Amino acid sequence: MKKLGLGLLLIFFALVADAQKITWTYSAKKIAGDKYELHLIANPPVGWHIYSQTTPDGGPVPTTFTFNKNALVTVTGTVKEKGKLVTYYDKNFKVNVKYFEGKVDFVQVVTIKGKIKTNVSGEIESMICNDRTCMPPTSEKFNIALN
């Protein structure tokens, strides 16, 4: 009976943890000539938030983007953040923490070499928290078609 109870408890925690994930959507928008904007949109669950790329060391895990090498694509500049940014001093971390309430659109400009079809792929590492707890950092792979 103890094993059954423990098993049910583990399943419950797994389901709760799975429900507290960011939903990511990806798209590419041609902006001029061979330039595209990549949109990597994070939708955390209601009541949860995702951290800015500029959250300082010593704080929660900032969102990071890694783009795989592609000889046909040049990544230009840095990933821009569009969303409702909140900054506050966190007495636990002793740093100014930066996070987004609700949806955030991470935008990266890329240039392709010529009139070709290719993809941009990579990985996102991020972490979400609410007012009481944080989920462990997660990694999400992405692949965005450029047509």
- Looking at the structure of the chain, the number of domains it has is 1
The DSSP line for 11-57 is HHHHHHHHHS--EEEEEEEEEETTEEEEEEEEEPPTT-EEE-TTPPT
Neighbours of 5 (CB within 10 A): 9
CATH of the domain at 84: 2.60.40.1250
Q: How far apart are CA 31 and CA 88, in angstroms?
A: 35
pLDDT at 83 over 50: yes
Separation of alpha carbons 144 and 147, rounded Å = 10
Separation of alpha carbons 86 and 79, rounded Å = 18
Q: What is the pLDDT of residues 15-65, one digit of tens each?
A: 344 458 999 999 999 999 999 999 999 999 999 999 999 999 998 999 999
Q: Note the pLDDT tens digit of each residue in 84-115.
A: 999 999 888 899 999 999 999 999 999 999 88
Residue-range definition of the domain harbouring residue 46 = 2-146
